[in-house]
């Protein structure tokens, strides 16, 4: 019965995504509707996750479909930290369709079902949890980076509607994106360390290699920011590149290996 909670979640997330698209055309009209959609959907999904956790002995999101369910929840939770502020709401235009798509995939793969399963051991649970939290952070950071690039483009092209649709300032987006990416990098590092404890020698596969590359991309970008003042569009593109690896290359290598 609890798995039915996926429907209000999907409806609310979908509604929020549409509302944010409307906000782009008519600033101020749909933003509030969007954020309420996110809040209601997130609460429904939280209830679904709680139901899954209660019914399972251990970590219920160890499968790829279950992981997508948790990842979707983490992405929306990360968005809600800033999304409640009116100027940051439009990050939802990027985050919510992605979160909705993750949830749909999860549902299609049976990741939203509430049934009795056995967990995979605490190290695997911690590894998966940390990796998913890292990927959620990278998703939110990428959304902020894309918003940075959009706002920068509007400023460069002297868009006359700049002050009608007010987004966060470039400085704020730059700082927040790098901070969220740093949190993601720390979580990813933790996930990798925990994963290495489970690794038998010679077991390195393509997914692990891509994960190492992802770690390298984010670490390089953040070190360059600290040491050489890398910021603005270059940092934004680095975060988008890192997210591309997370969202597209990593799943491909994961399922191929």
Partner 1 sequence: MKLALAGISHHTASVELRERVAIDLEAASALARRLARDGAQAQEAVVLSTCNRTELYLAADDHDHVARAADDALLALAGQNAAALAPLAYRLADESAALHLFRVAAGLDSLVPGEGEILGQVRDAFEAGAPGPVLDRTFRMALHAGRRARVETAIGESPASVPAAAAALAQQVFEGLEGHNVVLVGAGRTSELTARNLRSRGATVAAVVNRSLDRAERLASSLGARAVGLEDVAAVLDGADVVVSSTSSPGFVLTLEALGSALRARRGKPVLFVDLAVPRDVDPSLASIDGCFVYDVDDLEAVVSASLDGRRTEAVAAERIVAAEAERFHAWQASLAVVPAIASLRAQAEDIRAAELSRIEKRLGRLSESERAMVDTVTAQIVNKLLHGPTVRMKEAAMTPDGLIYAEVVRHLFGLGEDEA
Token output for 204: 């390195």
Write the DSSP assignment of the chain as a string of letters. Answer: -GGGGHHHHHHHHHHHHHHHHHHHHSTTTSHHHHHHHHHHHHHHHHHHHHHHHHHSBS-TT-SHHHHHHHHHHHHHHHHHHHHTSGGGGGGHHHHHHHHHHHHHHHHHTTTT-----B---HHHHHHHHHHHHHHHHHHHHHHHHHHHHHHHHHHHTT-TTTTTSPPPPHHHHHHHHHHHHHHHHHHHHHHHHHHHHHPPTT---HHHHHHHHHHHHHHHHHHHHHHH---HHHHHHHHHHHHHIIIIIHHHHHHH-
To partner 1, the closest distance from the beta carbon of 226 in angstroms equals 13
When asked if residue 227 is in the footprint of partner 1 (CB under 8 A), the reply is: no
8 A C-beta contact, residue 96 and residue 30: no
For the bound state, the minimum distance from the C-beta of residue 223 to partner 1, rounded and expressed in Å, comes to 14
Q: By CB under 8 A, tell whether 228 contacts partner 1.
A: yes
> Shortest gap between Cβ of 151 and partner 1 (angstroms)?
7
144 binds partner 1 (CB under 8 A): no
* Options 1, 57, 116, 160; binder of partner 1; rule CB under 8 A: 160
d(CA 1, CA 156): 52
Query: Which residues in the 20-39 window bind partner 1 by CB under 8 A?
Result: 28
Of residues 178-217, which lie at the interface with partner 1 (CB under 8 A)? none
Which stretch, 110-118, 163-171, 186-194, 211-219, contacts partner 1 (CB under 8 A)?
A: 163-171
Choosing from 1, 57, 158, 197, the residue that interacts with partner 1 (CB under 8 A) is 158
Which of 191, 242 has the CB closer to partner 1? 242
Which is closer to partner 1, CB of 3 or CB of 152? 152
CA atoms within 13 A on the CB side of 189: 10
Per CB under 8 A, the segment of 14-22, 37-45, 155-163, 181-189 that binds partner 1 is 155-163
What is the C-alpha separation between 139 and 4, in angstroms, rounded? 27
Select from 167, 180, 182, 188 the one that contacts partner 1 (CB under 8 A). Answer: 167
Residue from 50, 81, 84, 155 in contact with partner 1 (CB under 8 A):
155
- Provide the minimum distance between the beta carbon of 36 and partner 1 in the complex, in angstroms, as a whole number: 19
**28 or 121: CB nearest partner 1:** 28
Number of amino acids touching partner 1 (CB under 8 A): 26
Residue with tokens 């969202």: 247
Minimum CB–partner distance for residue 87 and partner 1 (Å) = 10
Residues in contact with partner 1 by CB under 8 A are: 28, 151, 155-156, 158, 160-164, 166-172, 175, 228-235
């Amino acid at each position: 019965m609890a798995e039915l909670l996926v429907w209000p979640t999907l409806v609310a997330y979908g509604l929020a995504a549409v509302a944010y698209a409307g906000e782009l055309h008519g600033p101020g009209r749909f933003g509030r509707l969007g954020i309420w959609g996110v809040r209601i959907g997130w609460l429904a999904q939280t209830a679904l996750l709680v139901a899954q956790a209660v019914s399972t002995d251990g970590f219920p999101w160890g499968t790829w479909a279950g992981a997508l369910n948790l990842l979707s929840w983490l992405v929306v939770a990360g968005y809600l930290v800033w999304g409640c502020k009116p100027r940051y709401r439009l990050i939802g235009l990027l985050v919510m369709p992605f979160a909705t798509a993750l949830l749909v995939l999860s549902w299609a793969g049976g990741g939203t079902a509430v049934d009795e399963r056995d967990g995979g051991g605490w190290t695997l649970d911690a590894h998966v949890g940390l990796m998913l939290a890292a990927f959620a952070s990278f998703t939110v950071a990428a959304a902020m980076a894309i918003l940075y690039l959009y706002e920068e483009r509007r400023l460069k092209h002297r868009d006359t509607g700049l002050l009608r649709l007010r987004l966060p300032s470039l400085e704020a987006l730059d700082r927040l994106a790098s901070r969220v990416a740093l949190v993601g990098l720390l979580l990813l590092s933790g996930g990798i360390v925990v994963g290495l404890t489970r690794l038998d020698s010679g077991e390195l596969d393509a997914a692990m290699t891509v994960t190492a590359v992802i770690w390298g991309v984010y670490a390089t970008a953040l070190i360059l920011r600290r040491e050489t003042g890398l910021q603005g569009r270059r940092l934004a593109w680095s975060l988008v590149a890192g997210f591309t690896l997370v969202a597209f290359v990593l799943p491909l290598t994961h399922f191929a290996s």
